Structure 1
């Protein structure tokens, strides 16, 4: 089992790590001090389970859980406040550890984690798409709801998320991001993807290419390579 500890307080991280190191089946432990650091760790470390503090600066543990990229680790919330329990379980948390906790209480949590990890080996279990993304720009972390993204385009090593009133940049590939979104947006060009329900008109161009006019007036390129699949998706919505 690979474990990621996310807490903005070092003593809390140290305590949990000491307790986890007593478990023989935990093979690796990494730590993060905030939500942005945790997302980077998830991409590089690929934890099986993440222990998330709820109250952290800029990005809460609840927001972080909703932003974990697929395949997301299992989530255990760790907090000193019991008023977040309903929100935690709405976020599909495995457990809710209330500080201060002891080794026996942690053991019960780990038993649930092990059971769920065994269940994940079943091919019938699907991975849920992310519901929001965390975008860090100039020291500020923005929470972007996936439902607010009208279309996406590539920009060098980034993608531009076109949302109402803002176009934040996310360091990610278009292919990788679409894999996390579970079909919410459809690729229409090698450099673009669109939310199909926002397409109002399709303007034909030369050589089978076209331009998509979205609700609100945005114009998005659509190449011949992706046009047929997009048309199938649009017909399926009718």
Structure 2
């Protein structure tokens, strides 16, 4: 369910749009405002998921309202009778631009955009993990990690060169367990290949054997990573694809 605000100085236009939105079960209109300043206050107070807003309004126009509330996370959709505002509108965080009168099919397309964006954001959030080293908590994306090595009761998270530059350190040592890392990873690119190692498969540049052991070479890493016998088939399957 998306919580929706409407901001438009024309009561008739607001009522017409609200009637159209009420036909969508996934939408709940939680407020309608004719005064732009009241609209700003409502966005800050109610933190809606979606705001349908006119552009040309007295005092503060829709572009100003968007600028004043750009620190609040919501999906902005402009609803206006004037096509010439489109270029200025897309300088704000607007995701769609609807011309009055709004047809239900255009609302449906807006919702499809929003659902797609929400899925992308969820995926991005899911691919991040929090790592605490005893003093500081770091938010890392999967792509920031080269490999993780178990060193006794601690785990050493080795960062990629780009991540090392971003965080101004090469490794993070944490008490988090290897099992907890496995549970936290949303990406199938970070794989436990040995009881003591988790590697980013995107960084593997070579799979080779020494005696009876299978080893991985990672980009920008000098040491070779051992692969447990039980994981060799998985590695081979990945690189055969």
TM-score, normalising length: structure 1: 0.49
Q: Higher strand proportion, which one?
A: 2
Q: Which has the larger radius of gyration?
A: 2
